Amino acid sequence: MLTFEKIEYMNTTKLLAYAFHSRLKVIERYKHEVEEIQLAALRKNLFFSRDSEYGKRYDFSAINTYEQYKENVPLANYETIKHDIERMMRGEKNILWSSDVRWFAKSSGTTNDKSKFIPVSNEALQDCHFQGGKDCIALYLENNSDSRFFSGKGLVLGGSHAPASVNSDIHTGDLSAILIHNAPALIDLVRTPRKEVLLMSDWEKKLRAIVEATSCENVTSLSGVPSWFLVFIKSVILHEGKQNLSEIWPNLEVFFHGGISFDPYRDQYRELIPSEKMHFMETYNASEGFFGIQSNLLDPSMLLMIDLGIFFEFIPIEDIDSDNPRVYPLWEVSTGVNYAIVISTNSGLWRYMIGDTVMFTSANPYKFKITGRTKLFINAFGEELMVANAEKAIAITSLKTGAVVKDYTAAPTFMSCNSKGHHSWIVEFEKEPDSIDVFAGILDDALQTLNSDYEAKRYKDIFLSRLELTKARPNLFHDWLKLNNKLGGQHKIPRLSNSREYYEALMKMNNMPATV
């Protein structure tokens, strides 16, 4: 007998999907109206904050074109606006943005500070971050007509820094915690676990609480950072005494992931969730704004979201340290070029360099891949090794050796009187290769294949010797993060660095030989 409950189960997702059709039509305009959409976002932000202190400082009222904006307003980074943000956090109003800003996302720090605090206005919450979340669902449902997304609940994992009050009006926390705290009450109907559990500050206690609270739920979607979710998934499988996650949540169908590259984790997720209906969809939701969504499940590139209150500019990576860099609006960028991102947002970040780098794969619409960080790369010998190179090389080497890499970091070892320079890696394995030395050799070869500058420097060992690789003890990176109060949330292992700071700290904790 076909009951009402069965009818509702069969049709809920398809019925609710119709609510997204109008939004999908707007996103379709991304193909043909890029300049118009982006300039509209810029003009709206400038008009809104024309009477702010920053708006008066740079005469926003007199700006009518992009060229004027580019000429009037200087490029900025966290150090240049840090004083303004500190004033905002003390409660001063109308500084960078004209509406009250009561939330500040806590993220990894700069050279001079342990943490950055990024302003998150109500306009950014509603029109950028929350709208971006809705757009994820819209684009996913468009890709999967057989979805039962709304038949169960979404499991969110994040927020290692629970919201904390600076004073009665100002609060800080991880972006994920801020979004959880400010989400409409109705979200609790389709999300698990409850808000109080998600906002627990102790990561390890929260992990146990989430496992206990969600193992009996009907979970259809996951949202979070791959590395932290992997820890959670293994915990819930162990808790339930099952072999894989599909035995616990048979209706699970999508993981919205972001924050770090998914490639090193993809095979582990496939093994832990061996379901043919499982999908993986990348998102790019940074503290500074919601930037991108994988709009096609068969294409790993992400669609740049150009109407969420953010105006984008781009600097070719070779100009990043220039006193007068070339800066291009979105409609003037080229595919296949490494760019640093510059944003002007509806939270009061003006021509702000966030430190991420991207490469466009398409211009109709504009789709991109994250290639790394302007500071998270190794360029000690002119090799310009980006995180994207390292991630792909790890994936190639793992496939060839049967190894599974859990975490890693790498840094330069500089030339001395008695030795050439080289790259030093420390790698924690989920599954070790038969030979660490063979793994290191294949990894070095893969890096040469993927990066011509590295290959040139490695030619006949003239400038660089083969990389050295140290096997990390179990849980080394977890322990390092715990020691530095970085467990959970959006904290990430620093993959590459021109400095040996992270590498040497990890090696000190490792108690292992420094080389293979």
Type of residue found at 42: L
**What is residue 5's predicted lDDT score, i.e. its pLDDT?**
44
Helix axes 501-510, 476-483, angle to 10 degrees: 120
Tell me the pLDDT band of 292, cut-offs 50, 70 and 90.
very high
Question: Which of 458, 431, 426 lies closest to 444 in space, CA to CA?
Answer: 458
The average pLDDT across 190-211 equals 88
**Distance of alpha carbon 143 from alpha carbon 280, whole angstroms:** 12
Q: How long a stretch of residues is the chain?
A: 516
pLDDT at 151 over 70: yes
pLDDT at 450 over 60: yes
The average pLDDT across 97-117 equals 78
- Residues facing 105 on adjacent strands: 118, 173
Using one digit for the tens of pLDDT, what is the confidence trace for 487-496?
A: 765 567 789 9
Domain boundaries along the sequence of the chain: 377-510
Contact yes or no for 226/262 (Cβ under 8 A):
yes
Backbone angles phi, psi at 490, to 5 degrees: -100, 10
Contact yes or no for 171/103 (Cβ under 8 A):
yes
**What is residue 34's predicted lDDT score, i.e. its pLDDT?**
98
Which range among 99-113, 149-163, 179-193, 495-509 shows the weakest confidence by mean pLDDT? 99-113
* Greatest distance between any 2 Cα atoms in the chain: 84
**Distance of alpha carbon 362 from alpha carbon 122, whole angstroms:** 32
